[in-house]
Chains A and B, each alone.
Chain A
Amino acid sequence: MSDKIDIKEFVPRAGETKPLYRSADFDHDVDPARDDFNEGLTLPDINTEPMYVNIGPTHPATHGTFRIYAKLDGETVEKAGVDIGYLHRGFEKIVETKQYGQVIPYTDRLNYCSGLTNNVAYCKAMERMMGLEVTPRTIAIRVIIMEIQRIMDHMICCGAAIVDIGALTNFWYFFNAREKLNDCLEALTGARLTYSYTRIGGLAWDLPAGWRDSLKAALKDVPPAIADVRGLVQKNRIFQDRTRGVGMINTEDAISYGWTGPCLRATGADLDLRKVRPYYGYETLDFDIPVGANGDAYDRVMVRIAEMEESLKIIRQMIDRVPDGPINVDDKRVTLPEKHKVHTSMESLINHFKLVIEGVQPPAGRIYDATETPNGELGFYIISDGSGHPYRIKVRPPCFYLMNTLKFLVEGGMVADIVAVLSGLNIIAGELDR
């Protein structure tokens, strides 16, 4: 019958420059009201039996090794199961055999996108346990490096979150600026990923000459990168369609699930330890806490981008206020004596020997100390029995509880939304699995 749709109509004939297929052509040629409209177009194989799909553990969009097992009905996720632990290295077991100072390099490997923040968080807990007041210069440097790491961590998270839903350019805009910041940290610490820069009671070494000027130059690239990404993404129809209303959660549920950090603030709660329980003089700094409204994937990316600007404000205030003075506390329990004294004085030699062989020995007891890291609250629960080895260190990683929530965020949504939700949560397998 000539009324039937012939697919050949939509295939361009030789010599014609007809566009491949347009729905307008389709509507124009065929009247959907006709009875035989769907004849020949329905595919008899489509049914609604559940299909089980395994995503990961080496899927490129998971940004780490974990596995999502999804029960699909068509493209809708009916149920999802999450399997983690592929990167479990036994952090908490191995640190029980180390000295307290030797734990610092292991903390680098928790959230490896912001290793310096983990260094500071661990040392802050140890210093509170030992009753040490770090010097003003160390505090200023620590605030600066923590905020640099917050910017860099958010750049990775936002860049990857946006690239996962198809916008690759933003990733490079962020990574150009991030590269300059990483060069600064390389000049400071000698490493680009596993910094191990802090020490209990201070820092490994002081700022190199001219470092603050090179940091100021590197920071100049950050606002244009943020502006470029915002211009491409914030009002972008495709981005909004993919992320608005996707993976939504309200504040009450988020708190019940143990959320902290930017993901909780995206729901509208303004919980930030730098404001509610300031440490390191954050109360004297002028910065705001960006919060979202809906708690969806869009808000989680936008809150992070806004936080980068606030971190810039903090660094700009601190960078010229770094006071002169020593970087390590003057305390024999934690700080090695100067090298020339080790060679000339018996007390210093003994002190050096005991610190190296026995390590730092905090008083017996238990402490929980929390720090606002880029992902949320990173807590160290440390039990000391008075010896030189930690009896137990429990890490409270922020993204452990975000990942606990993932299956409830994606169930009922489309399978493509798993990627959009997952990347906005910023799950880092290093601190998730420890």
Chain B
Amino acid sequence: MTTPSNDTERHDALVADIRSRFGDRLLDVDRSFGDCALIVDRAAVHDVLAYLKNERRFNLLMDIVGVDCMDLATYRERFELSYNLYSVPDDLRVRVEIAVPELEMDVPTATDLWKSANWAEREAFEMFGFNFVGHPCQKRLLTHHEFKGHPLRKDYPIMGGQWCTSTSDLMDELKESN
């Protein structure tokens, strides 16, 4: 797949815009393989996401990806969270990445910006243990509700299956207001 040439220019313009608006809270930019990833300060992530959604028309949150960086050669903190955005009107993709320390995994929720963040954040919560502050119903999604630990962490053993038996009633979801 060839990347259209004007993607680079539009990414340049976007990065310049973010840099002028958020200053040193934009820590770094990763442009490998023609993608564009904005590495921002963890405290500013909600502001950056809200700006991208409301002013830059990134109206489709494709995915929220958690990464455990403990085996990588270079990393900022142990964990990393990557928001994968797409702009339907502009046909442009961008990623917003933040580094999250192991001992303080609070991240502001993005469910107020995109409704798709609901399950994406629940998955990042159960797989890595991020705590999404303000999430309406943060609980396990793909794993069983009795499951202990966060299976996609690098220190979770590959054969670490668990024996879970009881069924959860979904009464908490029935009460959920949104």
Contacts and interface: CB of A to CB of B under 8 A. Distances in A.
B21 interface: no
A124 B34 CA distance: 14
Interface string B133-176: 00000001111100000011000101000000000111111111
B173 A381 contact: no
Given A85-B144, A90-B151, A93-B158, A80 B59 contact: no
B63 A256 contact: no
B84 A94 contact: no
B62 A253 contact: no
Given A85-B142, A253-B115, A396-B63, A129 B88 contact: no
A124 B65 contact: no
B72 interface: yes
Contacts of A394: 63, 65
B88 A368 contact: no
B30 to A, nearest CB: 7
A366 B93 CA distance: 14
Interface residues of B, number: 50
A258 B158 contact: no
A353 interface: no
Given A81-B174, A85-B143, A385-B73, A366 B32 contact: yes
Residue among B30, B61, B115, B168 with the most chain A CB within 10 A? B115
B35 interface: yes
B30 A269 contact: no
A73 to B, nearest CB: 12
A82 interface: yes
B60 A258 contact: yes
A367 interface: yes
A84 B173 contact: no
A269 B88 contact: yes
Nearest to A396: B63
A112 interface: no
A110 to B, nearest CB: 14
A71 interface: yes
Interface stretch (A186-194, A220-228, A271-279): A271-279
A321 interface: no
Given A85-B143, A271-B88, A401-B119, A128 B173 contact: no
Nearest to A87: B142
A260 B169 CA distance: 31
A255 interface: yes
Contacts of A377: 62
Contacts of B15: none
Residue among B32, B63, B73, B151 with the most chain A CB within 10 A? B63
A434 B141 CA distance: 12
Contacts of A60: none
A69 B174 CA distance: 8
Contacts of B88: 255, 269, 271
Given A97-B158, A365-B32, A379 B173 contact: no
A381 B84 contact: yes
A213 B165 CA distance: 53
A396 B119 contact: no
Given A88-B143, A253-B115, A258-B114, A407 B60 contact: no
29 contacts: A69-B173, A85-B140, A85-B142, A88-B142, A92-B152, A93-B158, A96-B158, A128-B1, A129-B33, A253-B115, A255-B60, A256-B59, A258-B60, A258-B116, A260-B60, A269-B88, A277-B4, A365-B30, A365-B33, A366-B30, A366-B35, A391-B72, A392-B65, A396-B62, A401-B119, A404-B115, A404-B116, A404-B119, A405-B115
Interface of B: 1, 4, 30, 32-35, 37, 59-63, 65, 67-68, 71-73, 82, 84, 88, 91, 93, 95, 114-116, 118-120, 127, 140-144, 151-152, 156, 158, 168-176
The 5 A-B residue pairs with the shortest CB-CB distance, nearest first, are A258-B116, A81-B173, A81-B170, A69-B170, A85-B142
